[in-house]
Homo-oligomer: A and B are copies of this chain.
Amino acid sequence: MKCRICGEKASVNMREHKLALCKEHYLEWVPAQTERSIKKYGLFKHDEKVLVAVSGGKDSLSLWDILKRLGYQVDGLYICLGIDEGIKYSVESQRLAEKFAFEHDLKLQVVDIQKEYGESIPQITRETHRGRIKPCSVCGLVKRHIMNRIARDNGYDVLATGHNLDDEAAVLFGNTLSWSGEYLLRQGPLLPSSLGLARKVKPVCRIYEREMLAYALLRGIEYIYEECPFSIGSTSIYYKELLNRLENNRPGAKLSFYLSFLEARKGGLFSEREKIQAELHSCSRCAQPTSAPGLCSFCRMMERINPISVDENEK
């Protein structure tokens, strides 16, 4: 198999795009694809300040690398979740995020949730009903809250996450199984800013997980191999497996599913009524948006665990 651009030996063959590329041209192709998405969906401009949420995994570190290579102003945010029972998942992923930042001369902000809120993710999940049933839901809630807070308090215009196509297709699949209008209308590469929060973007949402992996490997990015121990057996991993079966049978099916959804929505498939229902309020404690008046889900959860520390952190 030869590189379509230079005819040298190909390093990566993408059946989904009927495209094979050598290492050099692959490492140009991924940023070019990312830039295309940034332009197509109007994610951000060169004069805006971007904060990348970095987990230490292949997707977020590669995204950070790509955005820097594309010349954007981009800092990192690492949230230490304290998931260190069994394997040292958080310790190791923080080390890798810091190493990447140091080696590339990038600014990384670290928030340690145990230090700030008195509890690690494993502790919160054990102490809450939500956490015992769905640990990933608690973790998502905490991460969203902190990302929003740091972006707002430090004047970032945009918050970028490393969600790849496989992530997005799995979420879309889940939202479709339940036909959740509210989620179907919100999911996408761009969530506009609202109530003082930074805009949220997913610049690599059109890039397959294995394409992101190949990028990290060929760029020599050192990332954490392990999946989060809490994610084992999660619904999203199950949906990914189902979609992989579809993809194996028909290369490109996952991309087509996601892109045709975005196209159909843009073309007016959905009624706009649903949008009105999703009107947001401002949390009475942290001022972040919430679907009902009063405290947001994060503040409600933290109040039950540790009423004082939340107040102190938010002031």
Q: Does A245 interact with chain B (Cβ within 8 Å)?
A: yes
| B-facing residues in A232-291 (Cβ within 8 Å) | 238, 242, 245-246, 249, 253, 256-257, 260-261, 263-264, 267-274
A265 to chain B, nearest CB (A): 8
Q: Does A179 interact with chain B (Cβ within 8 Å)?
A: yes
Give CA–CA (A314, B73) in the complex, Å: 70
A82 to chain B, nearest CB (A): 31
* Across-interface contacts of A269 in B (CB, < 8 A): 179, 181, 184, 270-271, 274
Tell me if B260 and A178 are in contact (CB < 8 A): yes
Tell me if A256 and B181 are in contact (CB < 8 A): no
Tell me if A178 and B268 are in contact (CB < 8 A): no
Tell me if A270 and B271 are in contact (CB < 8 A): yes
Tell me if B271 and A181 are in contact (CB < 8 A): no
For the complex formed by this chain, how many copies does it contain in all?
Answer: 2
Give CA–CA (A145, B20) in the complex, Å: 46
Task: Name the one of B238, B249, B261, B267 contacting A249, with C-beta atoms under 8 angstroms.
Answer: B238
Task: Name the one of B181, B238, B263, B272 contacting A264, with C-beta atoms under 8 angstroms.
Answer: B181
Give CA–CA (A274, B270) in the complex, Å: 9
Tell me if A267 and B181 are in contact (CB < 8 A): yes
Give CA–CA (A245, B249) in the complex, Å: 15
* Across-interface contacts of A274 in B (CB, < 8 A): 268-269
* Across-interface contacts of A257 in B (CB, < 8 A): 176-179
| B-facing residues in A174-190 (Cβ within 8 Å) | 176-181, 184
Residue of B with least CB distance to A243:
B242
Tell me if B179 and A253 are in contact (CB < 8 A): no
* Across-interface contacts of A261 in B (CB, < 8 A): 179
Give CA–CA (A5, B246) in the complex, Å: 41
A87 to chain B, nearest CB (A): 27
A170 to chain B, nearest CB (A): 13
| B-facing residues in A277-307 (Cβ within 8 Å) | none
* Across-interface contacts of A178 in B (CB, < 8 A): 256-257, 260
Task: Name the one of B177, B249, B263 contacting A179, with C-beta atoms under 8 angstroms.
Answer: B263
* Across-interface contacts of A256 in B (CB, < 8 A): 177-178
* Across-interface contacts of A242 in B (CB, < 8 A): 242, 245-246
Closest 10 A-B residue pairs measured CB to CB? A179-B264, A179-B260, A271-B271, A181-B269, A179-B261, A268-B271, A177-B257, A268-B273, A178-B260, A176-B176
Q: List 24 A-B contacts (CB under 8 A).
A: A176-B176, A176-B257, A177-B256, A177-B260, A178-B257, A178-B260, A179-B257, A179-B260, A179-B261, A179-B263, A179-B264, A180-B264, A181-B264, A181-B269, A184-B269, A242-B242, A242-B245, A268-B271, A268-B273, A268-B274, A269-B270, A269-B271, A270-B270, A271-B271
